Structure 1
Amino acid sequence: MACLFPPRFSVRLTTKPELVTPKTPTPREKKPLSDIDDQASLRYHMPGLWFYENKESMVGKDPAKVIKEGLAKALVFFYPLAGRLTEGPNKKLIVDCNGEGVLFVTAEANIALHNLGDFIHSPCPYLKKLQYNVPGSHRITGCPLLLIQVTRFSCGGFALGVRFNHTMVDGYGIQLFLKAVCELAQGGSAPSVLPVWGREMLTAAAAEPNTPTTNHAVYGASDMRNNFKRLDIEWWGSILFNFEKLAAKPLFFFFPNILKPILLRSSFVFGPKEIQALKDQAAAQDFGPCTTFELISACLWKCRTIALQPNPNATVRVTFPTDIRRRSFAGLKFDPGYYGNAIIMLSAATTAKLLCERPITYAIELIREAKNKVSADYVKSVLDFLVINGRPRMSVMRNILVSDISRIGLEKIDFGWGDAIYAGSATAAYGATFLERPKSNSSTERSVLVPISLPHLSMLIFKREIKKMTKFN
């Protein structure tokens, strides 16, 4: 039976936060990050949670000890992650590979894992308990690049909280690192995929970047002038709270206490029936086959825009990080061990009126056109643009970022207790969402979980619109 309300749940730290250093000495050097890594939009610590059930064959083994041992071994190979970031000229981030280590915490919960029921998903109401925010550890420079907490439940299951500095790794990168921790914790002598730095490949020309060949309008604040509409939530937010600035702050993204009374956080599951309903709508327009990503992103973009009720003439966007590792570009060839950010932000835009009034295929077509922009020249243009413009952040207002992490394989991180029953971002952020795998069971194999954060009234409208768009016959 599903839990309707969160149970009484407390977590007690069993160790003080400590630094885990590489098990053997590592090179002492300084390594510049790439110009994709150090853009303002990635300068935050990303939280994630993994939940593992008890396993009979692992009785008597302490997951905290197993993970800590594997962590120390993995940091020998991924030694930059044990360093500290510094900032050079033009906000350039450089990692000082000093081997100071990463933060590690152990804790115990007062209940069994199954008592959390349906709260084992994103957004998880227990993020702060399962991922202790060590005071002073949230800065980008001069702080540990990883914070790991192992929380043991009374049943023998456990939760793994991982907070990583996003400038150092992307979703694939953290998966690669944690897989190495697993392999080394279980007796391996080296990771099956050796890490590769290679950040110079995604760095603009050292002497002088060229003029960008494309106008990357997604970077920079949205123009809210002359966009007034009486029920426009974002317009009022920009006037009353400087919402653009607040929503772009990492701590607001993931711990939004400042506007907690205003925002609701929820999640939506797109199962086979809901996805088929979206496919049927596209087929009714003679549009042809669509990917699940295109269907869900278009649906979210349209429903969220209706919910926020912007001025009809306002420009609205959907932005999606695109992994370029598997693409073949002249001069860009990624080693399987590349663990830095290999994501390019692509964006589709239109007016609120056209998006809201036209069928879902209109949004899908815009998303598809944006996806087709990627080329070696486009990547170079992004690098040049970021450097010339001081490494700006993306706009939050009039924009929804959709990041697909459902196919990375985060749930396959196995420390000996099997696959995680849930692995994901663990929270809902205003202006951004993730396509994730739901808590595992037989009925969710082909489903997609989407965490959403919106003002109260907007959330009510959003739920209504989602229900209308995914209604199946």
Structure 2
Amino acid sequence: KEPRLIFPEKPTPVEKKQLSDMDNWMNNRVRAPIIFFYNANPKMADIDPAEVVSNAIAKALVYYYPLAGRLFCTERTAWASKVGVDCAGSDSGGVVFVEADADAEIRELGDDVFPHSPLVRELLYIEETMKENEFERIIVSGPILSFQVTRFKCGGFCLGLVYHHAVTDGYGVSLFMKAMSELIRGATIPSTLPVWERHHHMCARSPPQVKNVEKFYHDPTVNPYASRKAFVTELNSTAPMTLFMKHQHLQALRDRHGLHSCTKYELLTACLWKFRTMISKPHPDETTRVTCLTSARFALRHIPKGFYGNAVVNPSSMCSVKELLAKPMEEVIELVKKTKSLGMKEEFVKSTIDHIATKPSTPVITLNTTTTDVSFAESNKDFGWGDPAIGSVGNIPLFTAYYNRSKTTSGEDGTIISL
């Protein structure tokens, strides 16, 4: 059906909201898609999921009303612009909502519903202005949040959403969906109240004090042709793919390398870093990196639980290609552990914010393996049909690998690796 706009079901403040320095980082000027599949529930056979979800959005927006706003430019610097959120109520803005019907059952899709599949694009609302470069275009205009509910003949449905990363991150989206779930099932207020406070959290210190983080970034305004050439060279040597790792696959990896004292994330990241570098066949003296996207909430304990702004940093470790390939897997895992722990240090997080707020900076991506565990299953997303059977990001940024606990359409538990 044609898109429509959803507004908070009660009046909300009409105001303009400031975003943090982390929100305003140019790397967050992207839209990020997520999809969830819900199986049929006999108790909900006569209830329209599109109506339930749209009502849940309206209820949750009373508390998260900035997500119904629109971005506007507040300041221009020599290398970028800063944006804020215009919360103009029903005069402008709104969350975009689309309902659709599929002439198929969910099981007929098989497991071809993961990122990179053409099917995913049919399950998300994408504005015409966004389609040309999909989700990696630097965007300011358009909705902050859009939803599409696709009903299947079996009685199940897919919930696809696209959010603007300049306003919130995956954790923030999970908080919003948790509030939707709680309010539509009878709660009077969300169990976790949202916190804005972008002027107080994830902003640069005064004065900024950048310490030992410069090596993780490059200045895109310096020799942009060389940066672009390196980017295109690596892009042409890659192809998107999705793997589904069952528990027995992970156990086989552990047994083969004798790795039983590391987490699943550390194991997968070490293997991906080493094997991806190996098959790329770079010069032995080139520098290779691993980046572990890490929540700053571990380092900055003063951030409230309900804060839904961007709070992710990207610590890296690096070594030469020949050093990495010569290391046994347990030593590679130790490097991954060291990288993760760096992102949990308060000074590293604060220096990162100071750096991106005061200098043009983008992460170094050549010969870099970036990984993150999106962990969608940790918050309540039950709208009456039970928790989603499958949850996944709908698109993967270049040179990044996402891990997500999920199930196949046949019900097998495991981990999706999308890269």
Normalised by the length of structure 1, the TM-score is 0.78
Aligned partners of 1:36 and 1:429: how far apart in 2? 18
Number of aligned residues: 400
- For 1:294-313, list aligned pairs within 5 A: 294-313=266-285
Question: Partner letter of residue 243 of structure 2?
Answer: F
Question: Which residue, out of 61, 76, 84, partners 2:70?
Answer: 84
SS in 2 for 1:383: helix
RMSD: 2.6
Match of 1:342 in 2: 311
Aligned partners of 2:411 and 2:386: how far apart in 1? 19
Question: Which residue, out of 216, 219, 228, partners 2:217?
Answer: 219
Aligned partners of 2:397 and 2:213: how far apart in 1? 27
Give the Å deviation of 1:82: 0.9
Contact 1:279 1:290 (8 Å CA) reproduced:
no
- Whether 1:315 aligns to 2:301 is no
- Whether 1:121 aligns to 2:114 is yes
Match of 2:26 in 1: 40
**C-alpha deviations, 1:212-257, integer Å up to 9, x for none?**
11133232279xx9xxxxxxxxx9x96498457xx6xxxxxxxxxx
Match of 1:459 in 2: none
Aligned partners of 1:221 and 1:112: how far apart in 2? 49
- For 1:381-420, list aligned pairs within 5 A: 381-390=351-360, 392-406=361-375, 409=378, 412-420=380-388
Match of 1:436 in 2: 404
Match of 2:41 in 1: 55
Cα distance, 1:221–1:404 mapped onto 2, change above 3 Å: farther
Aligned partners of 1:72 and 1:306: how far apart in 2? 50
Match of 2:416 in 1: 449
**C-alpha deviations, 1:48-94, integer Å up to 9, x for none?**
11011111000111111111111111111001111111233332221
- For 1:360-399, list aligned pairs within 5 A: 360-373=329-342, 374-390=344-360, 392-399=361-368
Match of 1:276 in 2: 251
Aligned partners of 2:230 and 2:204: how far apart in 1? 38
Aligned partners of 2:341 and 2:396: how far apart in 1? 28
- For 1:457-468, list aligned pairs within 5 A: none
Contact 2:125 2:148 (8 Å CA) reproduced:
yes
SS in 2 for 1:437: strand
Match of 2:239 in 1: 264
SS in 1 for 2:201: helix
**C-alpha deviations, 1:141-192, integer Å up to 9, x for none?**
2321011101111111111110011121211111110111122222322212
- Whether 1:112 aligns to 2:112 is no
- For 1:325-336, list aligned pairs within 5 A: 325-327=297-299, 329=300, 332-336=301-305
Contact 2:374 2:404 (8 Å CA) reproduced:
yes
- For 1:1-20, list aligned pairs within 5 A: 15-20=1-6
Aligned partners of 2:216 and 2:376: how far apart in 1? 25
Give the Å deviation of 1:395: 2.6
Cα distance, 1:20–1:66 mapped onto 2, change above 3 Å: same
Question: Partner letter of residue 380 of structure 1?
Answer: K
Give the Å deviation of 1:389: 0.7
Contact 2:113 2:119 (8 Å CA) reproduced:
no
Aligned partners of 1:216 and 1:368: how far apart in 2? 21
**C-alpha deviations, 1:263-318, integer Å up to 9, x for none?**
5332223333332343345547xxx7111111110001111111221111111111
Match of 1:94 in 2: 84
Give the Å deviation of 1:376: 1.8
- Whether 1:425 aligns to 2:393 is yes
Structure 1: gaps of 5 or more residues: 1-14, 226-234, 248-258, 453-473
Contact 1:32 1:92 (8 Å CA) reproduced:
no
Aligned partners of 1:135 and 1:243: how far apart in 2? 29
Contact 2:111 2:409 (8 Å CA) reproduced:
no
Q: Percent identity among equivalent residues?
A: 35
Question: Partner letter of residue 359 of structure 2?
Answer: N
Match of 2:186 in 1: 187
Aligned partners of 2:7 and 2:108: how far apart in 1? 35
Match of 1:165 in 2: 164
Contact 1:150 1:158 (8 Å CA) reproduced:
yes
Aligned partners of 2:215 and 2:381: how far apart in 1? 37
Aligned partners of 1:26 and 1:443: how far apart in 2? 42
Give the Å deviation of 1:349: 0.9
Give the Å deviation of 1:111: 0.9
Structure 2: gaps of 5 or more residues: none
Cα distance, 1:220–1:422 mapped onto 2, change above 3 Å: same
Contact 1:221 1:395 (8 Å CA) reproduced:
no
Aligned partners of 1:276 and 1:443: how far apart in 2? 19
**C-alpha deviations, 1:75-117, integer Å up to 9, x for none?**
1100111111123333222112223211111111111111111
Question: Which shifted more, 318-327 or 305-314?
Answer: 318-327
